[in-house]
A and B are shown apart, each in its own frame.
Chain A
């Protein structure tokens, strides 16, 4: 077990390093010079050189890369003399745009993304699995056909289209919801809930449709298993047969898919956050990309990769707990 975990942890670190390197190379070689952008219109070559110096951009590529890595684990210093700024670990640098510490920006915005992700996840798990279950049990009925038709249609609506349509109907036309605002839960729980409701629904809709179809397929497959016939031959009640013998085999694969989907969302629901103006990691990513704010782009890419890779490991560990046939062996 310990060996397995150590191996997986090493794998995580390697992939994250590669992500770092890949991202770094792309910005180092392809991106327009950030110093020129910061400098603005009234710019002299000396001024650009000065800015590049302050940002550490005059160093060779590998030096910059290692400074970045060291910064994450041990912190680093920018500039020198009177201009010296110490950036404590975990240091992801400073935004070119606002000069804020990128780490602080991430910490500030992560709760918003987590709120969006958790709320949506609860919604899509409840709706998707319930709809899929009912469809599977009532296979071939009008309910099944209607629900699955809706699920197929629903998974084809791009979420920004759904977001605009919902806003138009609920906010502009019916006026049952206010336009989403950045309100803390403690300040006004009602407005907080109203503000997050649409993002949750929009984000959950596509997943709910997907999970409904997955659940239905898995449950139908499981109901056809021989052990279900055994359960009936044993005289177990239909409720116990369904709950114990059908649900666990049918839902275990969904748990692993859910883990991956959820982990990916923690890195920011880019489109949903942008459309609704929620100040999460996703919107931060979109903004930083629009303004070519490289330290922030690096940070969000790394953060998203971190969640995906760690989520992968967590899912594998959980899977071994859920399915007794899978046992951990060091590889």
Chain B
């Protein structure tokens, strides 16, 4: 058993996992959709340039001002001019806003994931490696943060914070409440690894702490870290959208999917496409990330079992 988890094994298992995922239709479809969303986010200015509509350009010609601003045409004003229709009242192009919104959503989710992982790994390994009072303190902080009503508290904090850089604040708040879930697992695995033969052997042969951490422990945490982070991303996409939906996330006029859905609440009866489009994008993105994380975990689990 000790041989099976020895450093060096992950490289081949990485190739095996990739092979398993490539043969999985759900995983491939999810990855393809996510690639599309990422491309759309990266190419948002290009999309605007081609369609000729920026995310914040009003197009009053596209809405019927006599009917209170309902878009002209069926399905929320879908036309060659506006492939995904326009917002009621001000006629902003939904495709452009979706593309720019994807930038915000993905950037926040990615940054929150990176920061959460960094905090979770550093603090979790610190607790598991140093132990003693450091471990005690970190564990108490984790207990405290996990006992918090996170959503209400995030909203409370975000609403009372000055209207500075909302995106950065969102990342900080999401990560601040998210890291204990990762750190708890990292700490547990570090604790068991520290006492494994190969780590003790490395320590006995005079390896420095840094070498121990980066060469012996971190490589062995890799598969669970990959799985946990992949499964955390959809949660953060959802959280960002939820906070923006509640009006404490990304501040207008910067578009975000959650905020688009929030502004569609008053219109859902007359213009259902207005919430259906960002809703569908949000749903498919979260679903793809979840499916990918789920399959990744299954692939890693199968590798461990064999």
Contact between chain A and chain B defined by CB under 8 Å: yes
Q: Which residues of A contact B (CB under 8 A)?
A: 15, 18-19, 23, 26-27, 30-32, 152-153, 155-158, 160-161, 164-165, 167-168, 172, 264, 267-268, 270-271, 274-275, 285-286, 289-290, 292, 297, 300-301, 304-305, 307-309, 312
CB of B4 closer than 8 Å to a CB of A: no
Are B147 and A308 in contact (CB-based, < 8 A)?
yes
CB of B174 closer than 8 Å to a CB of A: no
Residue numbers in A under 8 Å from B35 (CB-CB):
none
Given contacts A156-B234, A158-B238, A161-B275, contact A289 B161 (CB under 8 A): no
Are A289 and B268 in contact (CB-based, < 8 A)?
no
CA distance A286 to B151 in the complex (A): 11
| From B143, B241, B275, residue with most partner A Cβ within 10 Å | B275
| From B149, B151, B248, residue with most partner A Cβ within 10 Å | B149
CA distance A27 to B149 in the complex (A): 17
Are A158 and B152 in contact (CB-based, < 8 A)?
no
Are A164 and B152 in contact (CB-based, < 8 A)?
no
Are B155 and A156 in contact (CB-based, < 8 A)?
no
Are A304 and B152 in contact (CB-based, < 8 A)?
yes
Shortest distance in angstroms between A96's beta carbon and chain B's nearest beta carbon? Answer: 13
CA distance A286 to B245 in the complex (A): 11
Are B162 and A30 in contact (CB-based, < 8 A)?
yes
Are A158 and B159 in contact (CB-based, < 8 A)?
no
Are A168 and B272 in contact (CB-based, < 8 A)?
yes
Binary per-residue interface labels of chain B (21-36) against chain A in the complex, 1 for a CB within 8 Å, 0 otherwise: 0000000000000000
| From A152, A153, A164, A308, residue with most partner B Cβ within 10 Å | A164
CA distance A161 to B234 in the complex (A): 15
Shortest distance in angstroms between B129's beta carbon and chain A's nearest beta carbon? Answer: 24
Having A304-B149, A312-B147, one finds 13 other A-B pairs with CB under 8 Å, namely: A15-B147, A27-B160, A153-B287, A155-B290, A156-B283, A158-B282, A161-B279, A167-B268, A172-B268, A271-B242, A286-B155, A286-B246, A297-B156
Residue numbers in A under 8 Å from B258 (CB-CB):
158
Tally of chain B residues near chain A (CB < 8 A): 41
Are A164 and B265 in contact (CB-based, < 8 A)?
yes
Residue numbers in A under 8 Å from B241 (CB-CB):
158
CA distance A307 to B143 in the complex (A): 15
CA distance A305 to B145 in the complex (A): 10
Are A305 and B279 in contact (CB-based, < 8 A)?
no
Residue numbers in B under 8 Å from A267 (CB-CB):
149, 152
Shortest distance in angstroms between A37's beta carbon and chain B's nearest beta carbon? Answer: 12
CB of B148 closer than 8 Å to a CB of A: yes
CA distance A164 to B272 in the complex (A): 9
Are B152 and A301 in contact (CB-based, < 8 A)?
yes
CB of B116 closer than 8 Å to a CB of A: no
Shortest distance in angstroms between A195's beta carbon and chain B's nearest beta carbon? Answer: 18
Q: Which of A30, A156, A270 contacts B151 (CB 8 A)?
A: A270
Shortest distance in angstroms between A246's beta carbon and chain B's nearest beta carbon? Answer: 22
Q: Which residue of A lies closest to B264 (CB)?
A: A164
Are B157 and A26 in contact (CB-based, < 8 A)?
yes
Are B287 and A172 in contact (CB-based, < 8 A)?
no
Shortest distance in angstroms between B252's beta carbon and chain A's nearest beta carbon? Answer: 15
CA distance A286 to B159 in the complex (A): 10
Residue numbers in B under 8 Å from A152 (CB-CB):
287, 290-291, 294
- Per the 8 Å Cβ criterion, residues 283-298 of B in contact with A are 283, 286-287, 290-291, 294
Shortest distance in angstroms between B172's beta carbon and chain A's nearest beta carbon? Answer: 13
